[in-house]
Amino acid sequence: MSTAWNSYYAPDTVADALAILQRHDGRARVIGGGTDLLVETRRGLRRPIEAIVDATRIEGLDTIAEDGEYIVIGCGVTHTRIVNDPRIVRYGRCLSESCGVIGGPQVRNTGTLAGNVAHALPAGDGTIGLMALGGDVEITGTDGARWVPAKHTFAGPGRSIIDRHREILTRLRFKRTADNEGTAFHRVMRPQGLCLPIISMATRLQMDGETITSAGISMGPVGPVPWYAKPAAQVLIGKPASEEQFNKAADIALENVSLRTSKYRATEEYRESMIRTWLPLILATAVQRAGASS
């Protein structure tokens, strides 16, 4: 099988990577692990590209670091490293859990969270975990770098606000959870091996005693892009952590999603049932992890 590109680059700096993108004038693409883009290109699901720019070897972008109140993840960091990093397990557990169900070990050893977010698929598991944490992405171009909330980077199925031909998603970050915060993630999928998710959901809750003071919920695929479920989260704030409130959150979520029957995933009715079943359980797990009891 012939490759679907002519040139492969592994630059050492962001400036070099941007220069390569400019030189190819829209006919080059940046990759992390390439576990999605390369497969789709070879299968003819994407137009052939002239050059591949591998961002995983850019100096300084293959690390996980603490920066004040943030955990910062370079674009070259693989899912496996996120799953095994004790800081992420402690301060952003739902992200570790979400990256832990992506593909199999080989995919997790190669694929990156940055690639998962930039690929902008409605059901990107790592993306769902990052969004629940209120995470941001750093987009770097020739005019400099800017931080953008991850939930605002999606323009449609497989489409991102990032100019993939002229910009690079360089880093990702989220604020560390405090002692009174908890997070949780769950993916519903068929039991046969590496299947597409039927529903993935994640949450971050902050508690004051038995009262929820801050909430974030994300899920997918429930529409054309990964969804930050603000209406469902808002119904929890200022309320006690109870089964009644968790069920209300599920009801509000379902009022705002666009589920459909898919032969590759499940029926609309089954997916609705899974949200009603699992979202309250995920919320209860986050409360428990925050040190409170529901």
pLDDT tens-digit readout, 73-89: 999 999 999 999 999 99
Q: Is the peptide bond before 221 cis (omega within 30 degrees of 0)?
A: yes
> Kind and range of the H or E element at 98?
helix 93-99
pLDDT on residue 50: 84
**Rounded distance between C-alpha atoms, residue 160 and residue 151, angstroms:** 11
Average pLDDT for 266-282: 96
Strand-pairing partners, residue 18, are: none
Burial class of 8 by CB neighbour count within 10 A (0 to 12, 13 to 18, 19+):
exposed
Q: What is the pTM of this model?
A: 0.92
Average pLDDT for 26-36: 78
Beta strand extents in 151-220 (DSSP E only): 154-156, 159-160, 168-175, 181-189, 197-208, 211-220
Are residues 190 and 230 part of one domain? yes
Percent of the chain with pLDDT over 70: 91
What's the domain count of the chain?
3
Are residues 147 and 203 part of one domain? no
Q: Last residue of some domain: 175, 209, 239?
A: 175
Are residues 77 and 111 part of one domain? yes
